[in-house]
Amino acid sequence: MTDVFRSMWRHSKMSSLLSLPWARPCRAHGLLPPPLAGEGWGGGRHQWAADGCPLPVPPPQAGEGTLWQCLRAASGVLLVASLSSGAFAQTSPAPQPRVTIGYVDIAGDPRHEPIKAYERIVLKQREPPFAAAQVGIEEAQALSRVLKIDFALERITVKSADEVAPAVTKALQERNIHFFVVDAPAEAFRPLAAAVRGRDVLLFNATAPEDWLRRELCAREVVHTLPSLAMTMDGLTQHLVSRKWRDILVLQGPLPADAATTKAFENSVKKFGARIVANKGFKAGTDPRERELNNPLLLTAGTRDYDVIFIADDAFEFARQVPFQTVRPRPVVGAIDLEPVAWHWTWERNGGPQINVRFNRASGGRRMEGADWAAWIAVKMVVQATLRTRSAEFNKQREFILSDTGFDGYKGLAVSVRRWDQQLRQAVFLATPSAVIASAPIEGFLHRTNTLDSLGDDEPETPCKLNR
């Protein structure tokens, strides 16, 4: 896709959002935006206010424009002009303070490439959770009026993981943005954390589950809204143990992500008193010489019986062939069939259907997933901090977010930030493709202060000791 097409596609998504029955006509923001700044598709910046309308963006830096951007800017101006009719005639009202949340993502992030079967049939969409952040901003609309503070979302798309840190520091210095939802892989966080250390910034990690970010990196400027691998694996293991499915066969894929998942699962198994009867590596393929690695029947044979098969397969290609292909009639969990997730589109309690519907509409029909929830709750936490402190001051907002305050995460027990590693404590859903079977912490798994801390790294266990 060329830049222009991408841009138009994004704009058309916006306009479809605005045409929804519940969307209100745009209020004039006083002036037309100057041409959008950016470095091609990467570096493009777009702002949306709480009413879902494009907001003016500061003028571009000298020398940033190209032909493509001019074209894109033109389409943007046309769109804004058509949406906020009367914008020409009005003078700007006294500006309200504005809390802007940056949304940083990487163009062509492979983690958001759909997983496809032959003929490009899509097995998993894996879209970036930007629409969820927009839902969070949309929800703040009524509060803007009460607080006399505007909320806006600015998407900052960069070309590679290396550019995340410079883009964030630039947005902080030049545009006074303090909150960022970061949609980037784990490796982007090391330079990012170094770049913002000690500065007035709060980054919300919405898409990277890696445990090392919470343990070794351990950065005061990062709040992890996506559950860690340790949390999801603990949730899954609690469920298995509560069913008395204690003997587990592990099938591990070849990727580093599969190794990390397996390691987290092994820790959980140890923690909750289950047993791994065998750990077998697999390799997708049909080579008869490698049949011990690629044949589900041979992989699931063996003399020792097991209650359940756990599979770690980030690529998903092999996992989808395993259920009902096993030697013994045993359920499969992990990468397929029963997955531990931060959110599921079928969650029926705690207001789940309402947020699922709002997201479904805002995203053009997508089903809300874990990363979407993590991006949405990040925006919601900033909005709540503004509401409850009645302030647009960063330090007050940060203090509120990092205090023990609970936020309404639509999944039962209130979610809140763990002070030791700034992981958001939250329930983990155990979901099949069409239902949430259980919500962990499973009844019976207790904790001395908060049962949510039976999932993932508890204070005595973690090497990360922030906010002491």
Partner 1 sequence: MLIDRRALSLAALPAGFAVILAILLAVAPAAAKDTGLIFVSNEKSNNLIVIDPKTHKVIRDIKTSRRPRDMHFSVDRTKLYVACGDDDVIDIIDVTKLEVIGRIPTGPSPETFSIDERKRRIYVANEEGSSLSIIDMDQAITIHEVPTGAEPEGVYVSEDGKLLYVTSEVGDLIHMVDAEGGHVLQDVVVGTRPRRFAATPDRKELWVTAELSGEVYIIDREKFEVSGKIEFLPPGMRKSDVTPVGLVMTQDGKTAFVTLGHAAHVAVVDVPTRKVTSYILVGKRSWGITLSRDERTMYVANGFGDDVTVIDVRTRKATISIPVGRIPWGVIIDD
For the bound state, the minimum distance from the C-beta of residue 340 to partner 1, rounded and expressed in Å, comes to 21
User: Is residue 138 part of the contact set for partner 1 (CB under 8 A)?
Assistant: yes
42, 3, 302, 28: which is closest to 164 by C-alpha?
42
User: Is residue 446 part of the contact set for partner 1 (CB under 8 A)?
Assistant: no
Which own/partner contact pairs does 259-264 have at CB distance under 8 Å and 24+ positions apart?
259/312, 260/210, 260/211, 260/229, 261/229, 261/233, 261/312, 261/314, 261/334, 262/312, 264/211, 264/228, 264/229, 264/230, 264/232, 264/233
Stretch that binds partner 1, among 136-144, 192-200, 429-437, 459-467 (CB under 8 A): 136-144
Given 8, 107, 115, 141, the residue binding partner 1 (CB under 8 A) = 141
User: Residue 210 — left, alpha, or beta (φ > 0 → left; ψ -120 to 50 → alpha)?
Assistant: beta
335, 348, 223, 347: which is closest to 282 by C-alpha?
335
Q: Rank residues 326 and 356 by Cβ distance to partner 1 and give the closer one.
A: 356
For the bound state, the minimum distance from the C-beta of residue 13 to partner 1, rounded and expressed in Å, comes to 20
Q: Are 225 and 375 in contact (CB under 8 A)?
A: yes
Given 5, 9, 12, 24, the residue binding partner 1 (CB under 8 A) = 24
Phi and psi dihedrals of 29, rounded to 5?
A: -95, 15
Given 18, 83, 107, 143, the residue binding partner 1 (CB under 8 A) = 143
Strand 222-224 to 202-205 pairing: parallel
For the bound state, the minimum distance from the C-beta of residue 417 to partner 1, rounded and expressed in Å, comes to 16
For the bound state, the minimum distance from the C-beta of residue 138 to partner 1, rounded and expressed in Å, comes to 7
User: Is residue 22 part of the contact set for partner 1 (CB under 8 A)?
Assistant: yes
Given 58, 256, 351, 463, the residue binding partner 1 (CB under 8 A) = 351
Given 117, 142, 194, 297, the residue binding partner 1 (CB under 8 A) = 142
- Rounded Cα distance, 130 and 13, in Å: 12
- Rounded Cα distance, 41 and 107, in Å: 7
For the bound state, the minimum distance from the C-beta of residue 451 to partner 1, rounded and expressed in Å, comes to 8
Q: Rank residues 295 and 389 by Cβ distance to partner 1 and give the closer one.
A: 389
Q: Rank residues 360 and 432 by Cβ distance to partner 1 and give the closer one.
A: 360
- Rounded Cα distance, 310 and 249, in Å: 6
- Rounded Cα distance, 356 and 366, in Å: 9
- # binding residues, partner 1 (CB under 8 A): 20
Given 145, 197, 199, 328, the residue binding partner 1 (CB under 8 A) = 145
What SS3 class is residue 383? helix
For the bound state, the minimum distance from the C-beta of residue 147 to partner 1, rounded and expressed in Å, comes to 9
User: Is residue 331 part of the contact set for partner 1 (CB under 8 A)?
Assistant: no
Stretch that binds partner 1, among 10-18, 20-28, 287-295, 395-403 (CB under 8 A): 20-28
What SS3 class is residue 278? strand
User: Is residue 301 part of the contact set for partner 1 (CB under 8 A)?
Assistant: no
Q: Is 22 exposed, middle or buried (0-12, 13-18, 19+ CB in 10 A)?
A: exposed
For the bound state, the minimum distance from the C-beta of residue 145 to partner 1, rounded and expressed in Å, comes to 7
Q: Token pair 């069409």 is at which residue?
A: 434
Element (H, E) at 360: helix 352-362
Which own/partner contact pairs does 292-295 have at CB distance under 8 Å and 24+ positions apart?
294/318
- Rounded Cα distance, 340 and 429, in Å: 6
Stretch that binds partner 1, among 62-70, 154-162, 273-281, 354-362 (CB under 8 A): 354-362
- Rounded Cα distance, 84 and 384, in Å: 28
- What sign results for the dihedral spanned by CA atoms 156, 162, 168, 169? negative
Q: Rank residues 145 and 283 by Cβ distance to partner 1 and give the closer one.
A: 145
For the bound state, the minimum distance from the C-beta of residue 141 to partner 1, rounded and expressed in Å, comes to 8
- Contact string 380-419 vs partner 1 (x = CB under 8 A): -------x------------------x-x---xxx-----
Strand 115-116 to 339-341 pairing: unpaired
Chain positions 275 to 294 lying near partner 1, rule: CB under 8 A, are none
Stretch that binds partner 1, among 139-147, 159-167, 195-203, 257-265 (CB under 8 A): 139-147
Interface ranges with partner 1 (CB under 8 A): 21-22, 24, 138-139, 141-143, 145-146, 351, 354, 357-358, 387, 406, 408, 412-414
